[in-house]
A and B are shown apart, each in its own frame.
Chain A
Amino acid sequence: MPLRLAAKDAALAAFVALVLAIPLIGFTTHETGSGTIVETRFRWVAIAVAVVFAGRLAWAFVPWRARRSSAPRLVQHRKLNTKYLGWLALAGAILWPFLPFASNYLIFLATTVLIYIMLGWGLNVVVGLAGLLNLGYAAFYAVGAYTLALAGQYWGIGFWEALPLCGVMAAIVGVLLALPVLRLRGDYLAIVTLGFGEIIRIVLINWQSFTGGPNGVNDLPLPTFFGMPFSARAPGGGKTFAQFFGLHFSPLANATERLIFIYYSILAVALLTNLLVLRLRRLPIGRAWEALREDEIASRALGINPINVKLSAFAIGALLAGFAGAFFGAHQSFVSPESFNFQESATVLAIVVLGGMGSQLGVVLAAIILVTLPEFGREFAQFRMLLFGASMVAIMVWRPRGLLSLRTPSIRLPEAPREAAP
């Protein structure tokens, strides 16, 4: 682009920025004892406009854009070689806690990433495979976490006993929601799930006598190592983890051991999840999900019962969210309704879509990016959610079909044997 055009374009962008900045950046109000005073900050406006102008001007001369011409071109699908990437990621995940730089914080972060990967894989079944837009996924996540918390509080059930219960409860809630609303199409379903997510959250906040209300539940049951707790003393005269392995007990080392154990537990469950989803995709039910996503009428004509198929997708998605919720509860050892707001559902959906719908590895990549991205900005905490939102937009504009957008056909017909030439 010639300089003159680029400058004109940048000037336009700067003008837009000026108009946008004047009311919200240029002025602000402060309430003082004697009334509200108006503060002007025109210097900020000038800075914002200058940044936009410079950025837009630089953008015009970015080398990779220069190659783009307006002439139509063949769409090329670059095939990413993802064959070994998955194994590499797995090896990295297994070795992670023992890498030299691994600190408690990094293991904690990796556990959070794994929880989101599980959530992403669960939602991937619903959105990516079955094509049902679910905007209230955090509700099932919440059911899982609260089942763990409340079962521990009222019945004294331990983590591993409660884990299946968490999944099953979430799945039951999922089916109960899905039964009446599965007839709805596309975005109607989306808004109903969104509303449902809010309903669950509001009930959790307001049903104080049962759920503890906005304060949440403390002291969730922590996972034990085959019945051996991670504590100084085992209840009931049993052995603790440290005693059994002859480790010296110290609170600090114990915390690390527990952290690593939770990390490996969720890694194992996540891998099982992955295996389950990969297998399900090849079963008739998985094919039915994808068929239904592609064309509901055609699959009905072929004898697929859409209600049953959608129900199963919803139930399995909810089941996985329930498991993830249980791990989330154990990981934080605290749950409150605010952990399950719409932003949570949106983040998981963003992970699925950014990863490339239906791609298991894409979910992993997107989860790593979206969970660690806000962590980088800890120093400028005010900006991190701003950057999070902006990068969601930017990634979508850059790769609308997700990072790993390759969609493999789930069945590959063998090459027809060539007829021998006569």
Chain B
Amino acid sequence: MSYFLQQLINGLTLGAIYGLIAIGYTMVYGIVGMINFAHGEIYMIGAFVSLITYFVLGVAGVTWVPLALALVLLSAMGFTAFYGWTVERVAYRPLRGSFRLAPLISAIGMSIFLQNYVQLVQGAQVKSMPPVIDGGFHLMETNGFVVQLSYLQIMIMLTTVALMAGFSIMIAATPLGRAQRACEQDMTMAALLGINVDRTISTTFVIGAILAAVAGMMVTLYYGVIDFFIGFLAGMKAFTAAVLGGIGSLPGAMLGGLLIGLIEAFWAGYFNAAYKDVAVFGILILVLIVRPSGLLGRPEVEKV
């Protein structure tokens, strides 16, 4: 029981991180209809910016942890958002309105580029960071097995919930959210009604990058080690999460992320850790066979 609880906590933490990345995929897909393959790399860049900012702050003498973390968060969000904006501007905007696979190939190229760029400028070796937030609650103990809920895990989950809530409000009630929903339904019509479609799409990429940066920072804090390759697998799983939840649906992305995190944690905890990714993709295939448009996705209406 206590082992189960521990895996549940670990799974939820992991799932929150996947969910944050998945939102970036699902939003971009909802509006532009393309798989943004470079999104995983954006998340990786967020992790690198966080780590570098943390050490630079250390040199600058900012050692009070809450202030340092807040600054790290701001810096990661700001710089990563710039990367997200640039990627869209360079690799996707010229291809808007082109045929479906062109942006996908461009995105794959961008992903390869960013990965190698970071490897080149930051080195291929793993970078590590000392634990910043220590400690946690001991929830229960059975037969000497202690169930831990660390402060960091609480912080990750709270941040995710807060971001999700703020985000849902933004989509539902602000002019930007309305513009995004309008673009999602019909880009031409939205443009005719005076919405700056290009700017809305750029903003979507920027928001996705900000969320990915938050996820990147939390992963850096949580695991303490990052390298230039972390974006690929995390991006792939986050995209799987977005599809599992129903692509284009924000609650779906969050739900999918949590499910993927839980599947991974429980599989690694109870079965074979080597096959945890197989389990994730296997369950994705099973879900899609039963519900072809994902858990919360609207079934696509086929039109002639």
Residues on A facing B (Cβ under 8 Å): 16, 19-20, 22-25, 27-29, 31, 36, 38, 44, 127, 133, 180-181, 183-188, 190-192, 194-196, 198-199, 202-203, 205-206, 295-298, 342-343, 346, 349-350, 353-354, 357, 382-383, 385-386, 388-393, 396-397, 400-401
For A397, the chain B residues whose CB sits under 8 A away are 91, 94-95, 106
Interface string of B259-285 (1 = CB under 8 A from A): 000000000000010110110111011
The answer for the CA separation of A196 and B284 in the assembled complex, in Å, is 10
Taking the complex as formed, is B113 at the interface, i.e. its CB lies under 8 A from any CB of chain A? yes
Q: Which residue of chain A has its CB nearest to the CB of B57?
A: A38
Shortest distance between the CB of A380 and any CB in chain B (Å): 10
Q: How far is the CB of B213 from chain A (nearest CB, A)?
A: 11
CA distance A396 to B98 in the complex (A): 10
Report whether B56 and A389 are in contact in the complex, using a CB–CB cutoff of 8 Å.
no
Q: Which residue of A lies closest to B87 (CB)?
A: A393
B82's contact among A19, A357, A388, A400, by CB below 8 Å, is which? A19
Chain A residue nearest to B274 (CB atoms) is: A206
Q: How far is the CB of B113 from chain A (nearest CB, A)?
A: 3
Q: How many cross-chain pairs have Cβ atoms below 8 Å apart between A and B?
A: 181
* Min CB gap A147→B, angstroms: 20
Docked complex Cα distance between A27 and B118 (Å): 12
CB distance from A104 to the nearest CB of B (A): 29
Dominant SS among interface residues on chain A: helix
Instruction: Confirm or deny: B203 has a beta carbon within 8 angstroms of a beta carbon on chain A.
Output: no
Beta-carbon contact of B243 and A396 below 8 Å: no
> A27 and B56 in contact (CB under 8 A), knowing A22-B79, A346-B108?
yes
Chain B nearest Cβ from A89, distance in angstroms: 23
Identify which of B56, B83, B101, B280 contacts A357 (C-beta below 8 A).
B101
Contacts of A19 in B (CB 8 A): 79, 82
Q: Is the CB of B281 within 8 A of A353?
A: no
Taking beta carbons and an 8 Å cutoff, which residues of B are in contact with A?
29, 35, 45, 48-49, 51-53, 55-56, 58-59, 75, 79, 82-83, 86, 90-91, 94-95, 98-106, 108-123, 127-129, 232, 236, 239-240, 243, 247, 272, 274-275, 277-278, 280-282, 284-285, 288-289, 292-294, 300, 302, 304
Q: Are B83 and A196 in contact (CB under 8 A)?
A: no
Contacts of B99 in A (CB 8 A): 400-401
Tell me the complex Cα distance, A383–B119, Å. Answer: 10
CA distance A38 to B58 in the complex (A): 9
Q: How far is the CB of A84 from chain B (nearest CB, A)?
A: 28
Closest to B276 in A: A202
Residues in A with CB closer than 8 Å to B277 are 198-199, 202
Structural contact, B123 and A198, CB atoms closer than 8 A: no
**Contact status A353-B102, CB under 8 Å:** yes
Which listed residue (A127, A186, A203) contacts B278, Cβ 8 A? Answer: A203
Which 7 A-B pairs give the minimum distances between C-beta atoms?
Answer: A392-B109, A389-B113, A195-B281, A389-B112, A400-B98, A400-B102, A396-B106
Are A353 and B288 within 8 A (Cβ)? no
A202 to B75, CA, bound (A): 36
Cβ–Cβ < 8 Å partners of A350 in chain B: 105, 108-109
Q: How far is the CA of A350 from the CA of B106 in the complex (A)?
A: 9
Residues of A within 8 A of B111 (CB): 389
Residues of B near A383 (CB, < 8 A) are: 120
B227 CB, min distance to chain A CBs, angstroms: 13
Q: List 24 A-B contacts (CB under 8 A).
A: A16-B82, A19-B82, A22-B79, A24-B52, A28-B122, A29-B51, A180-B289, A188-B294, A195-B236, A199-B277, A203-B278, A206-B275, A346-B112, A349-B108, A350-B105, A354-B105, A382-B120, A386-B116, A388-B112, A392-B109, A393-B106, A397-B94, A397-B106, A401-B98
The answer for the CA separation of A24 and B52 in the assembled complex, in Å, is: 8
Q: Contacts A16-B86, A23-B75, A349-B105 hold; do A393 and B110 have CB atoms under 8 A apart?
A: yes
- CB neighbours (8 Å) of A192 from chain B are 284-285, 288
B59 contacts which chain A residues (CB < 8 A)?
38
Contacts of A388 in B (CB 8 A): 109, 112
- Minimum CB–CB distance from B264 to chain A (whole Å) comes to 13
A195 with B285: in contact, given A28-B52, A353-B101 (CB under 8 Å)? yes
C-alpha gap A418/B175 in the complex (Å): 61
Residues of B within 8 A of A29 (CB): 51-52, 55, 127
Contacts A196-B281, A343-B112, A401-B98: A23 and B52 contacting too (C-beta < 8 A)?
yes
Whether A24 and B278, one on each chain, are in contact in the complex, defined by CB atoms closer than 8 angstroms, is: no
B105 near A191 with CB under 8 A, answer no
Instruction: Apart from A31-B128, A203-B278, A393-B113, list 18 A-B contacts with CB within 8 A.
Output: A20-B86, A23-B49, A24-B49, A29-B51, A31-B127, A44-B121, A180-B285, A184-B288, A187-B29, A191-B284, A198-B236, A198-B281, A297-B302, A353-B104, A382-B116, A385-B112, A386-B116, A389-B115
B200 to chain A, nearest CB (A): 20
Q: Give complex CA distance A23, B293 in Å.
A: 40
Q: How far is the CB of A103 from chain B (nearest CB, A)?
A: 29
Contact B243 A188 (CB under 8 A): yes
A346 to B272, CA, bound (A): 29
Question: Bound complex: CA of A353 vs CA of B108, how far in Å?
Answer: 12
